[in-house]
Amino acid sequence: MAKSPHPIPEVRAAQKSVLRHGDRSSRPRFQRLLAQFSLSRGPTLLFLLLLCAAPHKTARAQEPPYFVTYSEALEEPGNLEVAQKGTTGSPKDANGFYSATLELEYGAEAWWTTELYLQGQATTNDSTIFTGFRWENRFRVLPTEHAINPVLYLEYEDVNGADKSVLEVTGHDSIADLQGRNADSRGDISRTVEGKLILSSNPKGWNISENWIMEKDMMGGAWEFGYAVGASRPLALSASSRACTFCRQNFSAGAEVYGGLATVHDFGFHDTSQYAGPTAYFNIPHGPTLGFSPQFGLSDNSAGVLWRLKISYEIQQFRDLFSKKEAQ
Amino acid sequence: MRRSRIMWMALILLSISAAALVAAESSWLSKVPPADRQRVNPYAGRPDAIAAGKLLFEGSCAKCHGSDAEGRHGRPSLRSERVAHATDGELAWLLRNGSLHKGMPTWNSLPEPERWQLIAFLRSLPRDSPPSAAVAHP
């Protein structure tokens, strides 16, 4: 059975080179290209495919512009948000990296959101690898709105030591975690359960959220702690009466601070990494939401700057695609 | 004997279903505190707020309630008598708190002025025709 040509030009060229020359030296390059495609571009391609499958309707994300901090905002029931979260940085004495996380967030109920993360990273002068997955669930505790709204977060993660997504910081996480060679650190698998208490308020158009993080490696080790705090506000509190892309209501900005709080044995800021930075989201009407944040290391154990990017798209009422249409 | 038992069972089940339906229908309304019930929409009747509310509705509500607000896939119509009879304050309370166990999420992360704009738009919608009227004028 004849194979169809590969859709990516670089891979197609490498395939041709192998077929034409039978050159053994070009084979590793071809394999390398394939690996790089499947890990660095694979999530992007999947993201784009899901976008194409999405019903094209207006989308308005309501979540505050945080990258690490969670607010009380859950995914609306039946909606599926597909997001690509990227983190890039050049830690001191180490190669630059780009970590890509594909995020599939589904509103199971109005009080329950479930989410799957698939993570990978590419490091210059090193390799591109898949680093693991996470499955998280968030449950809204109280049925009505209060001054402070608690949400419980439960997560199982299976990631290796080469993971550089920095989706949260706990325990003694430090710059050393970003400096190792992939070949050395990928064998260090950790399977952890993580809990968060999310507290969130919405006074006068602002969102203020605080997260208390507890993490335990199921293969041993002490309980590790961390925190994240964020504050944000849309640039306009009332909507414009005309459809517009660059209206202030489509932008929100804020700041977040997060870091580790060591372990149950040595609780505190000693030998931990801490980050802070401004954050901004742009909700494109009829389109995706774009997010950007430079986050600055505040301690010697932190990377200098982590640049974060996010692109997300909400597939509205995804579950209706699988339910029977109403009788007319 | 057996037949009458089945009849009784059916009657009890019907009564329970009807009671549950009535309870479900009125549950969120009964939770609204009096102070919230009496709140007044600062944007009521303003054409610019209605236009803004329409855009917000298309972005946030139409996916569940339909672009014509008549409800879809079992989700309620927003042109119903129940919505028409609810006060602005009651609708504002529902948007802020949601009705989580019935699938209505909270919209408290929409700023409050935008929620009032949405309510101004909902007030501008025509009501559903009552079923009896539909029968009388097919």
Note down pLDDT in tens along chain B; length 138 residues.
566 777 677 677 666 655 554 444 457 888 899 999 999 999 999 999 999 999 999 999 998 999 999 998 888 999 999 899 999 999 999 999 999 989 999 998 899 999 999 999 999 999 877 654 433 333
Looking at chain B from residue 46 to 75, which residues have their Cβ under 8 Å from any Cβ of chain A? 47-49, 51-53, 55-56, 58-60, 62-64, 72-74
Contact A283, A73 (CB under 8 A): no
A198 pLDDT exceeds 70?
A: yes
| Domain ranges for chain B | 1-25, 32-136
Nearest CA-CA distance, residue A167 and chain B, Å: 23
Secondary-structure class of domain B32-136 per CATH:
mainly alpha
Q: Which residue has the tokens 């977060």?
A: A153
The whole-chain average pLDDT of chain A stands at 86
Residue A248 backbone class (left: φ over 0; alpha: ψ -120 to 50; beta: rest)? alpha
**If pLDDT is split at 50, 70 and 90, which confidence band does A56 have?**
very low
Per-residue model confidence as pLDDT tens digits over A108-125 = 999 999 999 999 999 999
Q: Which residue has the tokens 């002490």?
A: A222
CA distance A81 to A103: 8
Nearest to A239 among B74, B105, B114 (CB): B114
With beta carbons under 8 A apart, name residues in chain A contacting B108: 72, 145, 202
Q: Is A323 on the interface with B (CB under 8 A)?
A: yes
**If pLDDT is split at 50, 70 and 90, which confidence band does A194 have?**
very high
CB contact under 8 A, B107 and A62: yes
* Pairing verdict, β A80-89 and A97-109: antiparallel
Residue-level pLDDT at A138:
98
What domains sit in chain A, N to C, each tagged with a CATH number? 54-322 (2.40.160.40)
| A328 or A227, higher pLDDT | A227
Q: Which residue has the tokens 């919230």?
A: B36
Q: Is B114 on the interface with A (CB under 8 A)?
A: yes
Helix (H) or strand (E) holding A134: strand A128-140
CB contact under 8 A, B100 and A110: yes
CB contact under 8 A, A109 and B100: yes
Percent of chain A with pLDDT over 90: 74
Per-residue model confidence as pLDDT tens digits over A124-183 = 999 999 999 999 999 999 999 999 999 999 999 999 999 999 999 999 999 999 999 999
* pLDDT average, residue stretch A14-31: 43
Residue-level pLDDT at B30:
86
* Pairing verdict, β A128-140 and A97-109: unpaired
CA distance A50 to A48: 5
- Of A105, A60, A217, A39, residue with least CA distance to B109: A60
CA distance B43 to A22: 74
